[in-house]
Structure 1
Amino acid sequence: MVRRRVPLVTLALTAGGLVVGGLWWWAVLRLVLVPERSGLVEGAVAAGGWGLSLLPVHVTASAAAGGRTRVGRALEGMGGKRFTTASRRRRSDGESDPS
């Protein structure tokens, strides 16, 4: 059996995420099940968690013109291969294809 050690930072982040998620669920369930006894704190926690879910996490910083991102440079420094990146298709003229 292979034993792997989990870094302390990973454990702390996971535990923190579980605690914050548990607090959010507590606030939401309290607002739904007992609205007359829930207060400002529950509302703020529920609204804050909902607002975080709307963040566009798929957006990443673009590299400077002609430059590379820090991740790309780090991968190259570790001997990793550079992955291809999406780019806009360039057209010779501004019109669409008549097909």
Structure 2
Amino acid sequence: MSAARTARRTAALGLGALWWWAVLRLALEPGAGVLEGAVAVGGWGLSVLPVHCVPRCAAVGALGTGRWRRALRGTRSAAMKGED
């Protein structure tokens, strides 16, 4: 294993342990405070980030810019009319 890969795994393990500490402290300790809450919410927020996204121009089946605007105005593009 490369050193960079080991460092990434160590960092992920350490941050995961920190997140679990904060969540368990919030759940079990009556004196838990803002720090634990910030760590727990921040970790949850990172988990919902769309990190597996690609730019719209590279996405398969992506819709063109302005599609909703044209649809609301009732206009069609050449592709939608069946013309090429």
Same fold (TM over 0.5): yes
Q: CA deviation at 1:33?
A: 0.9
Paired residues, what number?
A: 68
Moved segments of 4+, more than 3 Å: none
What corresponds to 1:58 in structure 2? 52
**TM-score, normalised on structure 1?**
0.57
Amino acid at match of 1:30: R
Identity %: 45
Q: Distance in 2 between matches of 1:53 and 1:92?
A: 38
Q: Which of the two has greater helix per residue?
A: 2
What corresponds to 1:11 in structure 2? 6
Stretches of structure 1 lacking an aligned partner (at least 5 in a row): 1-5, 64-68, 70-84, 95-99
**Match 2:38 to one of 26, 44, 53:** 44
User: The residue matched to 1:56 in structure 2 has which SS?
Assistant: coil
Superposition RMSD in Å: 2.6
Question: Which structure would you say has the larger RCO, counting Cα contacts within 8 Å and 6 or more residues apart?
Answer: 2
Q: Distance in 1 between matches of 2:37 and 2:31?
A: 11
What corresponds to 2:27 in structure 1? 32
What corresponds to 2:70 in structure 1? none
Stretches of structure 2 lacking an aligned partner (at least 5 in a row): 63-77
Q: Distance in 1 between matches of 2:56 and 2:81?
A: 26
